[in-house]
Amino acid sequence: MTDTIKASVAMLRVIESYGVDHLYGLPGGSFSTTMDALYDEQAKLKFIQVKHEEVGAMAATADAKLTGKIGVAFGSAGPGATHLFNGLYDAKMDGVPMLALIGQVKQSAMNFDSFQEMDEVPMFGDVSVYNRTVTTAESLPHVIDEAIRIAYQQHGVATVVIPNDLGAKLIPDTPYSSAESYREPTATMAPNEEDVLAALNLIKSAKRPVLFVGMGAKNAPDEVIALAKRLSMPIITTAIAKGVLPDDTEMHLGSANRVAQKPANDALKEADLVVMIGSNWPFAVGNLLPEQKFIQIDNDSSKFGRRHHVDVGILADAKAVIERLLALTKDSEPTAWYNANLANIKNWRAYLTMMMNRTDADGPLGVEPVFKEINRISTADAVYGIDVGDINMNSVRYLNMTGEQKWVTSGLFATMGYGVPAALAGKLSFPDRQVFNLAGDGAFSMVMQDIDTEVRNNLQIINVIFTNRQLGFIVDEQEDAQQPRFGVYMTDNDYAKIAEAQGAIGITVTKQSELAAAFDRARDADKPVLIDVKVTADRPIPVEALQLDPAKFSAEEIATFKERYHADDLVPFSAFLTEYGVAEK
């Protein structure tokens, strides 16, 4: 006689077979048979009960971004399902694998306008690469197995709707998973030699080339640095690729556009050749110029030409292309263009250091000294969950990452409220590492209830909340558009007390003299900590709209700009180009 197993247990064992050891959700009546199975499987698959399904979905996407392993979250029928959408769209737009399990009323109640019944498959059609309703108990583990394989293969969301009665039914206890035989597709195809030679000819003929590096080059940091040195190409990275290269890398200019650093914007405006490696950068319009030559290296040919006309496209793995370029070239003396960029990044880093070292023990507290403390207590392999808003901008500038640390945020979708779930994922995926949640008060207030999730699961996360009592990123946009400040101000909540009410350690900092003790306590704590830092509402320096160049701005405009942003020692890029004999465009 064939042994039997509950269909829901068989489903969870398929998920376990792919190396998943935790998943997120909030129970509901239409998900009760899966909850019963989670009880049975809790020794192998940990259920993380969140306070809002959105947090669970965003944590699952952060899992995938941090580890490469599929993230899993669930929601019950109706509102539980719809609450998942922010996380699912984050996974879709940043191209990471995620499995969404969706509750549904039992089959006999379907199509009767039952309580919380919805036609869920159409709702998830746009966000999913795989979207099915299970129709038999026997097919449930098979559908889950197929969903996971397709989520990996297509780097997206697989959605499975499960009528609640199916999970309790007994099915044959036979193998349902293909995890042992499944191999994720790899893009290790060798580059076409003609394409590589064509790219090399363009690079050699360029006077002002730059490397533009995205997440597609995350497995080749040493090769990227070697190529940049050899061919005198400064490196620009996307914001979400922060951490791929150590921040102190000599020719690393940082990211471009608004969540950016000055040297990257400076170089991009002056470049005559952009070599884009493994990036689908969405801010091309207004930053990449039509007259610039453009080489694109990617393992997905559908991305060629999406952001700029392509002069040479190389369909291959980034590391393989770079290794071939290195094999075809020899070391040479750095060019004047390269040296001008090195001088520019040195000047910019001195400015950032000055901002972090500004001292006013009892005066208004800016964000920069806070980052100095974060850097001071951070371990060499710390994980940073970064929320959305001014915190993105400040983090890409002031976090000094080692190359071993991890940094995760909501990239293309840019959903606020990402810091808490990202930190949850960081600590669950890397329990032995130090983990931070960095967020502004606007974003944190959307998800602050899930400090409780940190506490209940004993996750020693350091939450740093930058309370400036406004939606700073939007305030700046209203300023730039010359609009009145409207709808952008926040209540000055006591977030430390809110954290304490949930069982965490809460610390409030109002002046610089209190910072060191607060961060020492957070570093040494054996439970979640929230530091509510009451900071000024000063605007971060707008590197996309600098007023430093006397050829473009009046002395009065430059003086006003420098005074506002403490930028007396910032030098316009034009001065370095002149110093090193590089003609401006």
Model confidence over 321-356: pLDDT tens digits? Answer: 999 999 999 998 999 999 999 999 999 999 999 999
Q: How much of the chain is helix, strand and coil, in % rounded to 5?
A: 40, 15, 40
Q: Report strand pairing: 209-213 vs 235-237.
A: parallel
Q: Give me the pLDDT at residue 184, please.
A: 64
Model confidence over 479-523: pLDDT tens digits? Answer: 999 999 999 999 999 999 999 999 999 999 999 999 999 999 999
Q: Give me the pLDDT at residue 13, please.
A: 97
Q: Say whether pLDDT at 161 is over 70.
A: yes
- Report the alpha-carbon distance of residue 284 to residue 411 in Å, rounded: 15
Model confidence over 278-326: pLDDT tens digits? Answer: 998 989 888 999 999 999 999 888 899 898 999 999 999 999 999 999 9
Q: Give me the pLDDT at residue 300, please.
A: 87
Q: Are residues 89 and 172 in the same domain?
A: yes
User: Is position 564 within any domain?
Assistant: no
| Residue 56: band (very low, low, confident or very high) from pLDDT cuts 50, 70, 90 | very high
Q: Are residues 62 and 140 in the same domain?
A: yes
Q: Are residues 137 and 260 in the same domain?
A: no
Active-site residues: which are they? 53, 115-116, 258, 388, 473-474, 477
Residues ≥6 apart with Cβ < 8 Å to 237:
212, 213, 214, 244, 245, 252, 254, 255, 264
Q: Which of 115, 147, 181 is the last residue of a domain?
A: 181
Q: Give me the pLDDT at residue 362, please.
A: 73
* Domain hosting residue 22, numbered range: 4-181
Q: Are residues 372 and 455 in the same domain?
A: yes
Number of domains in the chain: 3
Q: What percent of the chain has pLDDT over 90?
A: 88
Q: Give me the pLDDT at residue 188, please.
A: 65
Average pLDDT, the chain: 95
What is the identity of the amino acid at 506?
Answer: G
Q: Are residues 367 and 451 in the same domain?
A: yes
Count how many Cα atoms sit within 13 Å of the Cα of residue 249 in the half-sphere of its side chain.
Answer: 26
User: Is position 562 within any domain?
Assistant: no
User: Is position 276 within any domain?
Assistant: yes
| Residue 241: band (very low, low, confident or very high) from pLDDT cuts 50, 70, 90 | very high
Q: Are residues 157 and 211 in the same domain?
A: no
Q: Say whether pLDDT at 21 is over 70.
A: yes
pTM: 0.95
User: Is position 238 within any domain?
Assistant: yes
Question: Smallest Cα–Cα separation from 251: which of 229, 274, 269?
Answer: 229
Q: Give me the pLDDT at residue 125, please.
A: 95
Model confidence over 554-578: pLDDT tens digits? Answer: 999 999 999 999 999 999 999 999 9
Q: Are residues 239 and 172 in the same domain?
A: no
Q: Give me the pLDDT at residue 1, please.
A: 58
Q: Give me the pLDDT at residue 105, please.
A: 80
Q: Are residues 160 and 204 in the same domain?
A: no
Q: Are residues 98 and 170 in the same domain?
A: yes
User: Is position 210 within any domain?
Assistant: yes
User: Is position 217 within any domain?
Assistant: yes
Q: Token pair for residue 513?
A: 């003299």
Model confidence over 395-453: pLDDT tens digits? Answer: 999 999 999 999 999 999 999 999 999 999 999 999 999 999 999 999 999 999 999 99
User: Is position 370 within any domain?
Assistant: yes
Q: Say whether pLDDT at 363 is over 90.
A: no
Q: Which of 516, 534, 552 is the last residue of a domain?
A: 534
Q: Are residues 36 and 97 in the same domain?
A: yes
Q: Are residues 205 and 334 in the same domain?
A: yes
Model confidence over 178-191: pLDDT tens digits? Answer: 888 876 655 567 89
Q: Are residues 319 and 408 in the same domain?
A: no
- Report the alpha-carbon distance of residue 170 to residue 140 in Å, rounded: 11
User: Is position 155 within any domain?
Assistant: yes
Q: What phi and psi, each to the nearest 5 degrees, are found at residue 53?
A: -60, -30
- Report the alpha-carbon distance of residue 297 to residue 315 in Å, rounded: 6
CATH code where residue 530 lies: 3.40.50.970
Rounded to 5°, the CA angle 343-349-355 comes to 140
